Amino acid sequence: MLPLYLITYTIVAKSAKINAEMLKQHTVFCVDYAKHLMGLITNKQEPDVSYGLDENSKAYVKIIVSVSFGKDRGSHLEPVSRALGTLMKDQLPDCDVFFEQDIFNF
């Protein structure tokens, strides 16, 4: 079985003044970046995206990219995914951007 790689980007507004709808509009390009990342790797073209409020009533967006392929190709995924997170962070100064990668072997 091939390992499953989950890349999660969590984008949290630094201020409660930014509501969920505003954050959704400001992060459209982040969802597009994740679509392009998936398009490079797999036929699935849509990441899983959720919007909400955290425990401090700050808006957040969670983008989850899931791909499954061999370990050799997987080793190239992590630096590209991190670079994409850095790009998101640079373009969203009013938000905190968190990156997480999990690997599951079945």
Indicate the pTM of the whole model. 0.87
DSSP 27: T
pLDDT higher than 70, residue 44: no
- Please give the distance of CA 41 from its chain centroid, rounded to a whole number: 15
Task: Give first-to-last CA distance, the chain, whole Å.
Answer: 6
pLDDT exceeds cutoff 90 at 42: no
SS3 2: coil
**If pLDDT is split at 50, 70 and 90, which confidence band does 43 have?**
low
pLDDT of residue 94: 94
C-alpha span between 89 and 95 (Å, rounded): 7
